[in-house]
Amino acid sequence: MTAHDRERLARHLGLDVPAMLADCAESVNGKVRLRAGADGYCVFFKHGEGCGVHQGRPDICRAWPYFRGNLVDASSWEMIQTDCPGVNVEAGHALFVREGVDYLYEHGLVHEPGDDSPHALVLDASLARRKDP
Ligand code: SF4
């Protein structure tokens, strides 16, 4: 979670950032992430309901399924088709990439070189170019 993610999630939960981090986050290899519950899923995942903090979820969750790996690697995109019913298999990977790049830009989920926004997702130049028709 970026600093922006932490502040938004803490606000959503009605906590200050240190309290939110103590309740639901952990630090791994210098990065702060949400903890998993005893079932191995995100501590906010509710079986049968989905995300329990939808309005406050981190940017990485907002970016799904347009993760960089799924954009640059068609085989990764093929693998997520098993678990993500929203992926339109018939439309193909090229359209997935175009729509994904548009979505990431439209939702402020892109961090480009020189951009000091708090967002963590990075599109390299080859992907950034794909936003143009
Ligand atoms: S969308 Fe993100 S915050 Fe919500 S349950 Fe899934 S991993 Fe957790």
The structure's pTM equals: 0.84
Q: Give the residue whose CA is nearest to atom 4 of ligand 1.
A: 51
pLDDT given for residue 110 in this prediction = 78
Whether 48 and 62 share a structural domain: no
Provide the residue range defining the domain that includes 102: 58-133
Whether 76 and 106 share a structural domain: yes
Whether 52 and 65 share a structural domain: no
Whether 29 and 78 share a structural domain: no
Whether 131 and 102 share a structural domain: yes
Integer distance in angstroms from the first to the last C-alpha of the chain? Answer: 32
- Tens digits of residue pLDDT in 99-133: 998 898 888 887 665 555 544 455 665 666 555 55
Which residues are 111's β-sheet partners? 122
Q: Which numbered atom of ligand 1 lies nearest the CA of 53?
A: 4
Name the region of 70 (left: φ>0; alpha: ψ -120 to 50; beta: rest).
Answer: alpha
Whether 75 and 127 share a structural domain: yes
Whether 85 and 33 share a structural domain: no
- Tens digits of residue pLDDT in 12-49: 999 999 999 999 999 999 889 999 999 999 999 999 99
Whether 76 and 11 share a structural domain: no
> Residue 16 corresponds to which tokens in the numbers above?
């200050």
User: Cα–Cα distances in Å, from 30 out to 4, 26, 71?
Assistant: 17, 10, 26
Q: Which numbered atom of ligand 1 lies nearest the CA of 50?
A: 5
Tell me how far the alpha carbon of residue 111 lies from the centroid of ligand 1, in angstroms: 21
Whether 69 and 52 share a structural domain: no
- Tens digits of residue pLDDT in 45-93: 999 999 999 999 998 899 999 988 899 899 999 999 998 888 888 999 9
- Number of domains the chain contains: 2
Whether 64 and 102 share a structural domain: yes
